Amino acid sequence: MLNLPAATRIDLWSDTPPDWNPADKRPWPFLDYYAQPEAGAPLMIVFPGGGYNACSEPEGMSAVRYYYAAGYDAAYVQYRTQYHPAREPLGWGPLRDAGQAIRCLETRRFSFDRERTAAIGFSAGGHLCASLAVHGRRLDPALPWLPGTSILAYPVITTGEFRHGGSVRNLCGDEPDPADLDFFSLEKQAHPEVAPVFLWHTAEDQAVPPQNSLCFAEALSRAGVPFELHIFPQGQHGVHMASETFPALNVWSAMSLTWLETVWKGAFRRNPSASDDAETR
């Protein structure tokens, strides 16, 4: 197994985070940074899944190890989560943590290549990763940068028919405001400024149905956003970076590296007609 260097740990907030639930006893949001020996590597920001109940460290660290071995600096983000029922839904809390992670990465002046930044999210972490891509500038127009591409592994996307109920309840509560449901239903929020997206899912996923990736891909297409989508015929939810049970899935990680190199080469061209059409919707 790859030996990672010692991580630099950063608390995302020096004081009580905005929208923090004082009744919740979850870990304080933090970021662990794993730097390559030489400066100037691309950066991968990792958002593990867990239904917004918890952050799955094994899932997130499998991505840290994989992309670090591929030559990337890696940042593991522990964003806020909570068990349902809770006194208050999470709301914008995890998204604020994701934005704060960007600020911390910039403030600490780590020596990664700021022209080659990416984020990966799994399941509910995929929802957070996609939310940052879709809503990041709305969250804070002064964010120094947003990741140049997102990789979404079996992501939660919609709050509609094919939603992951636990994620939606943790974010929005039992009696959600319709405006919150729309905000967090990311297939309704895609726009032409979203950075290119790589998505993959399995057709057999019972926890987060593949319609989540399909509906987001369709929305990206309408908005003229470059994307790559893979739906594998077999495999359960939550296989991390590789699966011994379903080895045919294991090609996705190498596909993601090819995708990243294509993004960095600037090979994608947006579809102006699709973007114009999306803006009129």
CA gyration radius for the chain? 18
From first to last of its 281 residues, the chain has per-residue pLDDT tens of 678 999 999 999 998 888 887 777 777 899 999 999 999 999 999 999 999 999 999 999 999 999 999 999 999 999 999 887 777 899 999 999 999 999 999 999 899 999 999 999 999 999 999 999 999 998 889 999 999 999 999 999 999 898 987 899 999 998 899 999 999 999 999 999 999 999 999 999 999 999 999 999 999 999 999 999 999 988 788 687 777 777 888 899 999 999 999 999 988 877 665 555 544 44
Q: What is the CATH number of the domain that holds 266?
A: 3.40.50.1820
What pLDDT, on a 0 to 100 scale, did the predictor assign at position 238? 67
Q: Are 257 and 265 in contact (CB under 8 A)?
A: no
Q: Are 62 and 240 in contact (CB under 8 A)?
A: yes
Residue 145 lies in a domain: yes
Alpha-helix runs per DSSP H in the chain = 57-69, 93-107, 124-139, 165-172, 178-184, 211-223, 251-264, 272-279
Residue 3 lies in a domain: no
Residue 267 lies in a domain: yes
Q: Are 6 and 35 in contact (CB under 8 A)?
A: no
Q: How many domains is the chain partitioned into structurally?
A: 1
Residue 52 lies in a domain: yes
Residue 1 lies in a domain: no
Helix and strand element counts for the chain (H, E): 8, 8
As a whole number of angstroms, the distance between CA 114 and CA 130 comes to 19
What pLDDT, on a 0 to 100 scale, did the predictor assign at position 268? 82
Distances (CA, A) of 207 to 64, 154, 211, 236, 251: 24, 10, 11, 8, 22
For the entire predicted model, the pTM comes to 0.93
- 2's enclosing H/E stretch is none
Is the CA virtual torsion 193, 221, 275, 94 positive or negative?
Answer: negative
The separation between CA 65 and the C-alpha centre of its own chain, rounded to angstroms, equals: 17
Residue 135, domain extent: 8-279
What pLDDT, on a 0 to 100 scale, did the predictor assign at position 280? 42
